[in-house]
Amino acid sequence: MGNTYNPNPITTISCERGFTLLEGMIATVILGIGLMGMGAMQGFSLMKNVDANELNGATILASDMMERILFNRRNASSYDGINTMNATNCNTIDVNSQRQARGDCLQWDTMVKGARLSGVRGTVAVSAEIAPIVLKQRNVAITLTWTDTRIQRTRSVTLNSIVSPN
């Protein structure tokens, strides 16, 4: 069995399989296009992650104030008109009769101004008593508005709840 002689060496070469330079280049181009697409998706994903973090922070701030009002539900009307952009924001709440509402306002004002949101503004609106009046319910709306600095658009979160004194 030893050495076998092949009289036609050309057939031996043509039977070998492998990649040509052209196939390798095509594979490299396809891989490059795929990697560029993944890079674009990564940037989009990062932008949406930042949006989600801002929205989450604003929602937490609004929820905090709503919980404060629900805890002090008998005095819900005291929170009406809170606006963190107003310099005298909490001074309109009587410190003697509405100490808790005044403290809640001051704490929330500090948290809103300390939030990592550009141009953030928090407002509270409490309606007059809604029907049926005997229940003494009020609609409370808390709104946080801020500016998305990357694309210069205004964003906001509003929480609404009906508060009953009992």
Hey, what are 81's tokens?
């008109």
What SS3 class is residue 149?
coil
- In the chain, how many H helices and how many E strands? 3, 3
How do the domains of the chain map onto residue ranges? 18-163
> Averaged over 60-81, what is the pLDDT?
91
Span 152-157, mean pLDDT?
88
Other CB atoms within 10 Å distance of the CB of residue 59: 13
- Other CB atoms closer than 10 Å to residue 93's CB: what's the count? 22
Asked if the model's pLDDT at residue 128 lies above 70, the reply is yes
pLDDT over threshold 80, residue 122: yes
Q: What is the pLDDT of residues 2-27, one digit of tens each?
A: 566 666 655 555 556 666 888 888 99
Please check the confidence at residue 100 and state whether its pLDDT lies above 70.
yes
Degrees, nearest 5: CA angle 95-101-103: 75
